[in-house]
Chain A
Amino acid sequence: AQSVTQLDSQVPVFEEAPVELRCNYSSSVSVYLFWYVQYPNQGLQLLLKYLSGSTLVKGINGFEAEFNKSQTSFHLRKPSVHISDTAEYFCAVSEWWAAGNKLTFGGGTRVLVKP
């Protein structure tokens, strides 16, 4: 069975400072990894995904993430945050199997950007 752990439930950060959100996963098979963002009272929007290839993945809004297979991690980073980045961020792992795929989410990290 797969699982995802987001190590920080809340991350306060000042505007224009860098931020890193940590994500570790466990799975018995090859996985695909995702970061989603949820703005207040909205649905989930894909930030970026890792399927294969380069371990450094760039996404929307200046976010990037690095896949580290040996550490089973997929940490999300942004070098300089804006007030508009205040949101809940979810790491997720997808396990592909014959009948489809199953997306397992971490518990989420709330990012609060302060002016």
Chain B
Amino acid sequence: DTAVSQTPKYLVTQMGNDKSIKCEQNLGHDTMYWYKQDSKKFLKIMFSYNNKELIINETVPNRFSPKSPDKAHLNLHINSLELGDSAVYFCASSQDSELAGGEQYFGPGTRLTVT
């Protein structure tokens, strides 16, 4: 069974459109994250949710809106897509325990291309 899954794997869309990426984890973790990886492979956290509550919100345009219907799911909705949104988006999850040390488990990524 896949631990952290994302859909879709590839997403090609035009500027101005609205799109969503879905993420699910079956590890029973309390915390989920969204990361953006740019073309130079730099990884930066965008959001973090703990038990459906937003706990980290980095400097991200408000066109990006995460939604967590339950602690196993964290979706990312993007409005009015721009060329600069093209990137690979990774979902991750971790156990909410200092003993776990913050190890995060990553999904396979969603490659978003905005044309």
Q: Which residues of A contact B (CB under 8 A)?
A: 32, 34, 36, 38, 42-46, 49, 51, 88, 90, 94-96, 99-105, 107-108, 110
Contact = CB atoms under 8 A, between A and B. Distances in A.
B90 A44 contact: yes
Contact of B106 (A43, A94, A100, A110): A43
Contacts of B103: 32, 34, 46, 49, 94
Interface stretch (B13-21, B37-45, B73-81): B37-45
A100 B55 contact: yes
Contacts of B109: 42-43
B104 interface: yes
Interface of B: 4, 31, 33, 40-45, 48, 50, 55-56, 90, 92, 94, 96, 98, 101-109
Contacts of A88: 41
Contacts of A38: 41
Nearest to B90: A43
Contacts of B42: 105, 107-108
Contacts of B56: 99-100, 102
Given A44-B90, A44-B106, A46-B105, 17 more contacts: A32-B103, A34-B103, A38-B41, A42-B108, A43-B108, A43-B109, A44-B43, A99-B50, A100-B31, A100-B55, A100-B56, A101-B101, A101-B102, A104-B45, A105-B44, A107-B40, A108-B43
A107 B107 CA distance: 19
Nearest to B51: A100
A95 B92 CA distance: 16
Nearest to A93: B102
B45 A51 contact: no
Given A32-B101, A94-B101, A107-B42, A101 B106 contact: no
Given A100-B50, A102-B56, A107-B41, A32 B106 contact: no
A67 to B, nearest CB: 13
